[in-house]
Amino acid sequence: MEPIELQRRVVTAIPGPRSVELQKRRLAAVAAGVSSALPIFAERAHGAIVVDVDGNHYIDLGSGIGVMTIGHTDEAVVAAASEQLTLLTHGMFTITPYESYIRVAELLAQHTPGSFAKKTVLLNSGAEAVENAVKIARHYTGRTAVAVLDHAYHGRTNLTMAMTFKAMPYKSGFGPLAPSVYHAPGSYPFRDGLSGADAAARTITYLEKSIGARDLACLVAEPIQGEGGFVVPADGYLAALQDWCTANGVVFIADEIQSGMARTGKYYASEHFGVEPDMVLSAKGIAGGLPLAAVTGRAEIMDAPHAGGLGGTFAGNPVAAAAAIAVFGEIERRGLLAEAGRIEGILKPALVELQAKYPTIGDVRGIGAMLAIELVKPGTMEPNAAAVSALTAFAAQHGVLLLSAGTFGNVIRFLPSLAITDDLLREAISVLGDGFASLD
Ligand code: PLZ
């Protein structure tokens, strides 16, 4: 096959005829609950470009929700995974272990925040990492309660569904939900206007008065909330929570599934906030698109569960582990942490400029290659989800993939690959500008 031309190119109506055809088959064969943001079917991708079945080339600002952090079909990942496929496709680490699992655990110990002794368990998905973190924290503390924050997203399995904030589409009709999960108020500077200290005091009051530290096994927080709308907590908020957890024997867990793996210019976003969580959760970007997730934490906590207490058939699959080793290697070799700053340096000022022109942009926020705009009805704080839908549809029509987010569906989030070129980024920004102009 010809290499992909790394350019935006719209050659048919969107969706094109082959996508329309696939959409018909999909509606007949795929469960209705699995819906898609756009009726466009992908065929190939490379770097920051996705090509659909009709040959349209899109600039991808979503990276499959923050997975393709080092770029689609990255050569090093493809080579490592392809070679591993031919050597050992499946081993089942709890039957016949293999080196790549150990290597990923070593790399995670090295790159997660904190210089204390750490250990890791590998899993298949983000939700599974969250579930295992809670299991380990419960086993270690002998306590059962789990605290999460308003606007959080932690997954769709039974326990993580209870931990996720939004009823629609994640929880409605799917109960009963897992017990002993408590949603504490968090820090959302644009909407609550609270300082980090005041927001932390409010959270801690809830933890102490409504749950009680005696029963609380863990507090799980996303350092920058992903699905919740790229909410960056106020200064000092996370550090105050960590201090309270430490003082009260509560395991402090950072869900870095969306914010981690170099996306914000550090390996983990926790580093921006001066916190060293007891456990850090990785998934999404860790293995260049292959399914892999991890719980990495203080050795004494991670070693609490008995032998045989953790595992899973595909967990830490050798092909995914080989891909993860390649991802860590490429982040180092190509200096990709610095690329997040390059992207922020272009995208954030452009978004601020758009905000000056269009009062529907209430807030511009985020760090590195994890940026967002929150849209409101001009002059108010009222969420403007309709503008988000119009803009994401306009962008797709013009060859740019944009993702929405937020409890109110009124946030556009930008999670480009760190491999995106300045030119492609600028071109995508100009399409966004045209989109805003078309709203008037
Ligand atoms: N924790 C912080 O962002 C996944 C969900 C997409 P899984 N977010 C994308 C969807 O609609 O299902 C996520 C996350 C944070 C946990 C998860 C869950 O990760 O790999 O999707 O299970």
pLDDT at 55: 98
pLDDT at 131: 98
Give the model confidence (pLDDT) of 311-355 as tens digits: 999 999 999 999 999 999 999 999 999 999 999 999 999 999 999
Ligand 1 atom closest to Cα of residue 256:
2
Cα–Cα distance between 360 and 391 in angstroms, integer? 12
pLDDT at 121: 98
Give the model confidence (pLDDT) of 295-307 as tens digits: 999 999 999 999 9
Taking the centre of ligand 1 as the mean of its atom positions, its distance from the CA of residue 258, in whole angstroms, is 7
- Torsion region of 208: left, alpha or beta (phi above 0 gives left; psi -120 to 50 gives alpha): alpha
Confidence of residue 440 (pLDDT cuts 50, 70, 90): confident
Reduced to 3 states (helix: H, G, I; strand: E, B; else coil), residue 285 is: helix
Domain-embedded: residue 2: no
Ligand 1 atom closest to Cα of residue 125:
20
Give the model confidence (pLDDT) of 117-176 as tens digits: 999 999 999 999 999 999 999 999 999 999 999 999 999 999 999 999 999 999 999 999
Q: Are residues 296 and 379 in the same domain?
A: no
Ligand 1 atom closest to Cα of residue 170:
11
Give the model confidence (pLDDT) of 361-398 as tens digits: 999 999 999 999 999 999 999 999 999 999 999 999 99
Residue 207 is encoded by which pair of tokens?
């933890």
- Strands 411-414 and 181-184 turn out to be unpaired
Reduced to 3 states (helix: H, G, I; strand: E, B; else coil), residue 142 is: coil
Residue at which a domain ends, from 274, 301, 333: 333
pTM over the 0.95 mark: yes
Domain-embedded: residue 431: yes
- Strands 370-375 and 361-367 turn out to be antiparallel
Give the model confidence (pLDDT) of 186-229 as tens digits: 999 999 999 999 999 999 999 999 999 999 999 999 999 999 99
pLDDT at 216: 98
Give the model confidence (pLDDT) of 401-431 as tens digits: 999 999 999 999 999 999 999 999 999 999 9
pLDDT at 182: 98
Give the model confidence (pLDDT) of 74-103 as tens digits: 999 999 999 999 999 998 999 999 999 999
- The domain total for the chain is 2
Instruction: Establish whether residue 292 lines the binding site of ligand 1, counting it when its CB lies within 6 angstroms of any ligand atom.
Output: no
List the domain range (segments joined by +) for residue 310: 77-333
CATH number for the domain spanning 400: value is 3.90.1150.10
- The type of residue at 10 is V
Give the model confidence (pLDDT) of 391-402 as tens digits: 999 999 999 999
Q: What is the dihedral of CA 242, 244, 246, 250, to 10 degrees?
A: -90
Q: Are residues 340 and 305 in the same domain?
A: no
Q: Are residues 54 and 114 in the same domain?
A: no
Q: Are residues 314 and 173 in the same domain?
A: yes
Question: What residue's CA is closest to ligand 1, atom 20?
Answer: 126
pLDDT at 118: 98
